[in-house]
Structure 1
Amino acid sequence: MSKETEKQRWQRNFADLLQELRVAQTGVQILFAFLLTLPFSNGFTRTTGFQKDVYIVALLAAAAATALIISPVAFHRALFRQGRKPEMVRFAHRMASGGLAFMLISMVSAVLLITDFVLDRPIAFVLSGLTAIWFLTFWGILPFVRRNWGEDDVDDEDDNPPTGYRD
């Protein structure tokens, strides 16, 4: 396997990041669309003040997540063909991470809103807390714990990435 140049690595990193953002973007857009239509449904008039506050948190967090997850596209358009791929990759990484954080807030808030509407509040808090733990486990804890996963499995020196390599 031939070693990739630094330029090829930045190109690959950017392509990988954009692919990841496509998945996140679909999820946040569906959630955002649901939240945008919710106040126009018949049952929304029966929500309590607490539920309306939770709804606002979910809506604004979904809007923030949408903005952050889509921002790498706008950044790329503004810097297209300026040879600033490393800067774009670093920016896109930060925006994707922030977007996922806001998406987590929005999803947990949406779960709290719905469970509080249909169940007793203590049960809604427990289920929302479990939802937050679930997401944090798969989006934060496991990736952090397993960040060096497979490093000991490399048998062929040609498979080792260049020095200083980071995805």
Structure 2
Amino acid sequence: MGHIPADGSEDDGTARPGVHPQSGRRETEEERADRRWGDLLQELRVAQTGVQILFGFLLAVVFQPRFADLSTTDRNIYVVTVMLGSATAAALIGPVSYHRLLTGRRMKPQTVTWASRMTKLGLGLLFCTMCSTLLLILRVALHNVVALWLVGAMALWFLACWFVFPLWAIVRGDGPQPGRGDRDGDGRGTRG
């Protein structure tokens, strides 16, 4: 006997018209893509704002009088950090461009899948950008090896908050029951 959804009908695992087999919602593929796109946009707004503020800060650093006093190592860290910031901004703004260029071509589900992948890449790059930024700032502020230990500790915290805790929830089964609810942002549900 299959899972019995809230509407009382038996779920035998086969697709029914108007019900998406992975999410259990009564929506067409296009409606599901619209919903997932709206969710992704909300997530991107948060990430993009933070990246834009951080990137603006990084760009302004080179124009500060104290920049000339940085060691060669610190200047190299700065260049790497700016490049990472640029790559992060591109990856997190990319989904908007992707959507805009493909709008009207009846490719919404594929667009959402690729936008989700770009967002995940952007989060990985943001992790690197944040760690590099912290390294630069703490090296300049502390002038000692404590900076590396503090960056390492924060890197572990970022990893925990952004990746470990969500993966732990998946492993523990804290998400929706099989056949119920959207499991992830790229449309590939996991079997539970």
Structure 1 residues 16 and 48 mapped into 2: Cα distance closer, same or farther (>3 Å)? same
Distance in 2 (alpha carbons) for counterparts of 1:121 and 1:4? 57
CA-CA distance at 1:161 after TM superposition? 3.6
Match among 61, 71, 80 for residue 84 of structure 2: 61
Per the alignment, residue 151 of structure 1 pairs with 176
- Per-residue CA deviations over 1:85-134 (Å, capped at 9, x if unaligned) read 11111110111111111111111111100100011331010011111111
Count of matched residue positions in the alignment of Structure 1 and Structure 2: 161
Code of the residue aligned with 1:13 in structure 2: it is: R
Displacement of 1:43 after TM fit?
1.3
CA root-mean-square deviation: 2.2
1:35-70 deviations in whole A, cap 9, x for unaligned?
Answer: 000011111111111111111111100100000100
State the TM-score, normalized to the length of structure 2: 0.77
TM-score, with structure 1 as normaliser = 0.88
Correspondent of 1:34 among 45, 48, 57: 57
- Deviation by residue 1:3-22 (Cα, 9 ceiling, x = unmatched): 22222111111110111011
Equivalence map 1:111-122=2 (5 Å): 111-122=134-145
Give the direction of change, closer, same or farther, for the CA distance of 1:141–1:44 in structure 2 (3 Å limit). same
SS, match of residue 62 in structure 2:
helix
Q: Identify which range, 118-127 or 31-40, moves more after superposition.
A: 118-127
Q: For the structure 1 residues 53 and 144, does the alpha-carbon distance in structure 2 shift closer, same or farther, using more than 3 Å as the test?
A: same
Alpha carbons 2:58, 2:82 under 8 Å: kept: yes
Structure (1 or 2) with the greater helix fraction:
1
In structure 2, which of residues 20, 30, 48 is the aligned counterpart of residue 7 of structure 1? 30
Instruction: Specify the code of the residue in structure 1 equivalent to 2:174.
Output: W
Q: List alignment gaps of at least 5 residues for structure 2.
A: 1-6, 8-24
Q: Aligned AA for 2:133?
A: A
Q: Deviations over 1:18-39 (max 9, x none)?
A: 1101110001000100000001
Amino acid at match of 1:129: G
TM-aligned CA deviation for residue 150 of structure 1: 3.9
Asked if residue 110 in structure 1 is aligned to residue 118 in structure 2, the reply is no
Moved over 4 A (4+): none
1:16 paired residue number: 39
In 1: Cα distance, 2:175 partner to 2:100 partner: 36
CA drift at 1:165:
7.2
- Identity across the alignment (%): 39
